[in-house]
C-alpha cells in the first residue's frame, strides 16, 4: 500500500499541482476546509500532513496542533508564502512540523523531503515495535495455576528447608539476570564485560559517595541494564563507533538511554534504576539529553554511571577510535569538566588506583602495572582478536614477561582487566 498524504490549502490550484506531483507514489487526499480535513484525519490518519500556513478559517499552526493532538506520529509539513516565513519558523520551532516549504516550491526538493519523512516514519515505527516486544507485559508473563505449581516443585522439594529454598531462588534470579545482561551485550555489540564492569565500579563509587545500600543496588542494576535501549537503534547507528558519529547522530545515539528506561519500566524490579538510566547522557552544562538538566539536577547515580561508562569506552577505543591507557582516559575526562561530575571522576581514580579487595569488581591495568597472583577478568586479545591469555588466568611472572614482550611490539597500550580476588558476601 502506498504511503498516504493529506494536503490542506485554501487555493484549489495549489492542491491540484501537489496532487499531480505526488499521486504516482502516494495516496493523496486534498481539502480546502480545515474542519473537514480534521474530521477525515480522525477516521483515517495519514503518514504525511501538508498544510498551508495562512488560511481564512484556521491558520496552519492551529490546524497542525489539532493533528498532533489526534496522532503525533504523522510527519507534518508547513507550506508558506514569503510573507508568512516568520510564522512558519515559529510553527517549526514549536515542534509542530518537520520542515516548511516556500511557495513556489521546487518539485524535486519537495518529493525528496517527503520521501525522507516517510523513511523516518518507517524507522520510528520499527523502533517502537521493537520496544513493544522488549517490554513484555507482566500479565503476559504470569503463570497459570498448573505451571505455577510445577515451578514450585522444581524450585523446592519436600526435603528442602526454607533457607535452602531461598538460596535456590536467589541462584535462579541471578542466573536470569545474567542471561538478560548477556543477551543485551550480544545484541548491542558490547565490549567484553563492559556493562558488568560499569555496574561493579558504579556501585562501589556510589557507596564511596555516601549513598545507601539500597541506592547502591539501584545504581548496580542501572549499570547492568543501561544499554538495552541500544537494541532499538538502527543497525547502522548502533554499529558506528562514537567518534564516527555526526553531531545529529550522536544526539540520536544518546537518546538510547530514554529508550532503555522505557523498556526497563516493564518491571517493578528495576523501578529504582529508571531515572538513573534515563538521565545517563545528561551533561552538567545542560547540553545533554533528554531534558538538558544541569549539575546537581542530574541524579547522582546518573553522574556516576556517566563517568564510569565514558572511562570504559575510552579504554576500549570506542570513544576516540584508539585504545588508550587509563591515565590518558583520566586526562581526557578532566578535559570534559563542563560535562561530567569531576568529584565522581576523583572517586573513580581512587578506585582504580588503589583497588581494594573488599568488593568483586574489574579494574584496568597496563602491562607494566601487573603483578603475579592477579586474576585476569577478560580474555587478553589484540585488535584482530588473537588471544594472548584467557579469562580466569592467575598471572605468573612468565605470563607478565610474555605480555611485556608483546606490548613492545604494539603501537597502542595493552590494557588488562583484573578482577578483585575476594568474593564479597554482600555483593549485588
* Domain residue extents for the chain: 4-133, 187-354, 355-428
Supply the pLDDT for residue 103.
Answer: 80
pLDDT in the model for residue 144: 53
Q: Using 50, 70 and 90 to split pLDDT, how confident is the model at 426? A: very low
390 phi/psi in degrees, rounded to 5: -95, 155
Q: What is the pLDDT of residues 200-258, one digit of tens each?
A: 999 999 999 999 999 999 999 999 999 988 888 887 887 788 888 888 888 888 999 99
Of 39-43, 281-285, 384-388, the poorest mean pLDDT is in 384-388
CA angle 57, 58, 62 (to 5 degrees): 170
Distance CA 47, CA 45 (A): 7
Q: Region 104-128: what's the mean pLDDT?
A: 84
Q: How does pLDDT run across 15-34, given as a tens digit for each residue?
A: 999 999 998 889 999 999 99
At which residue does the C-alpha cell 545529529 appear?
A: 248
- 187-354 to CATH, choices 1.10.3210.10, 3.40.50.2000, 2.40.440.10, 2.130.10.10: 1.10.3210.10
Position 136 scores a pLDDT of: 47
**Superfamily grouping for domain 4-133:** Response regulator (3.40.50.2300)
Alpha carbon distances (Å) from 154 to 89, 149, 151, 159, 387: 64, 9, 5, 13, 40
**Is residue 71 pLDDT above 90, yes or no?**
no
Q: What angle do CA 241, 420, 316 make, to 5 degrees?
A: 10
Give pLDDT tens digits for 152-190. 555 555 455 656 655 666 666 666 666 677 777 667 778
377 in Cβ contact with 364 (< 8 Å):
no
pLDDT band at 139 (very low <50, low <70, confident <90, very high): very low
Q: Is the pTM of this model over 0.75?
A: no
Share of the chain above pLDDT 90, in %: 39
DSSP 108-126: HHHHHHHHHHHHHHHHHHH
pLDDT at 321: 82
pLDDT band, residue 137 (cuts 50/70/90): very low
Identify the residue whose cell numbers are 561493579: 200
Averaged confidence pLDDT in the chain: 82
Following CA atoms 13, 14, 17, 20 in sequence, which dihedral angle do they give, to the nearest 10 degrees?
Answer: -100
Q: What percent of the chain has pLDDT over 70?
A: 79
Q: What is the mean pLDDT of residues 404-427?
A: 75
Cα–Cα separations (whole angstroms), residue 332 to 15, 46, 314? 56, 48, 9
pLDDT score for 138: 44
Amino acid at each position: 500500500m502506498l504511503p498516504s498524504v493529506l494536503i490542506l490549502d485554501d487555493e484549489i490550484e495549489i492542491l491540484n499541482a501537489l496532487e499531480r506531483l505526488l499521486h504516482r507514489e502516494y495516496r493523496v487526499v486534498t481539502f480546502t476546509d480545515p474542519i473537514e480535513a480534521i474530521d477525515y484525519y480522525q477516521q483515517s490518519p495519514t503518514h504525511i500532513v501538508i498544510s498551508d500556513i495562512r488560511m481564512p478559517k484556521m491558520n496552519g499552526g492551529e490546524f497542525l496542533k489539532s493533528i498532533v493532538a489526534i496522532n503525533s506520529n504523522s510527519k507534518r509539513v508547513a507550506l508558506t508564502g514569503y510573507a508568512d516565513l516568520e510564522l512558519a519558523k515559529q510553527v517549526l520551532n514549536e515542534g509542530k512540523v518537520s520542515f516548511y516549504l516556500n511557495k513556489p516550491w521546487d518539485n524535486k526538493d519537495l518529493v525528496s523531503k517527503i520521501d525522507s519523512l516517510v523513511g523516518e516514519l518507517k524507522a520510528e515505527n520499527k523502533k517502537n515495535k521493537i520496544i513493544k516486544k522488549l517490554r513484555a507485559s507482566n500479565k503476559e508473563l504470569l503463570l497459570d495455576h498448573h505451571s505455577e505449581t510445577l515451578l514450585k516443585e522444581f524450585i523446592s522439594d519436600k526435603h528442602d528447608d526454607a533457607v535452602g529454598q531461598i538460596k535456590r531462588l536467589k541462584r535462579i534470579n541471578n542466573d536470569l539476570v545474567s542471561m538478560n545482561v548477556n543477551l543485551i551485550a550480544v545484541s548491542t555489540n558490547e565490549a567484553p564485560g563492559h556493562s558488568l564492569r560499569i555496574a561493579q565500579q558504579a556501585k562501589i563509587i556510589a557507596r564511596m559517595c555516601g549513598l545507601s545500600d539500597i541506592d547502591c543496588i539501584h545504581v548496580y542494576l542501572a549499570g547492568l541494564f543501561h544499554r538495552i535501549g541500544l537494541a532499538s537503534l538502527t543497525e547502522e547507528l548502533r554499529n558506528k563507533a562514537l567518534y564516527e558519529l555526526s553531531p545529529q547522530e550522536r544526539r540520536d545515539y544518546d537518546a538510547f538511554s530514554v529508550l532503555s528506561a522505557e523498556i526497563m519500566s516493564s518491571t517493578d524490579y528495576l523501578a529504582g534504576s529508571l531515572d538513573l538510566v534515563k538521565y545517563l547522557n545528561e551533561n552538567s552544562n545542560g547540553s545533554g539529553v533528554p531534558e538538558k538538566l544541569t549539575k546537581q539536577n542530574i541524579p547522582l547515580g546518573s553522574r556516576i554511571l556517566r563517568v564510569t561508562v565514558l572511562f570504559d569506552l575510552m579504554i576500549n577505543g570506542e570513544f576516540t577510535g584508539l585504545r588508550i591507557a587509563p591515565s590518558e582516559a583520566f586526562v581526557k575526562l578532566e578535559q570534559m569538566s563542563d560535562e561530567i561530575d569531576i568529584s565522581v571522576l576523583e572517586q573513580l581514580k581512587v578506585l582504580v588506583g588503589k583497588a581494594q579487595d573488599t568488593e568483586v569488581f574489574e579494574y584496568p591495568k597496563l602491562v607494566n602495572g601487573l603483578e603475579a597472583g592477579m586474576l585476569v577478568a577478560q580474555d587478553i586479545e589484540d585488535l584482530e582478536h588473537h588471544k594472548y591469555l584467557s579469562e580466569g588466568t592467575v598471572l605468573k611472572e612468565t605470563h607478565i614477561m610474555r605480555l611485556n614482550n608483546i606490548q613492545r611490539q604494539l603501537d597502542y597500550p595493552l590494557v588488562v582487566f583484573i578482577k578483585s580476588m575476594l568474593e564479597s558476601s554482600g555483593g549485588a
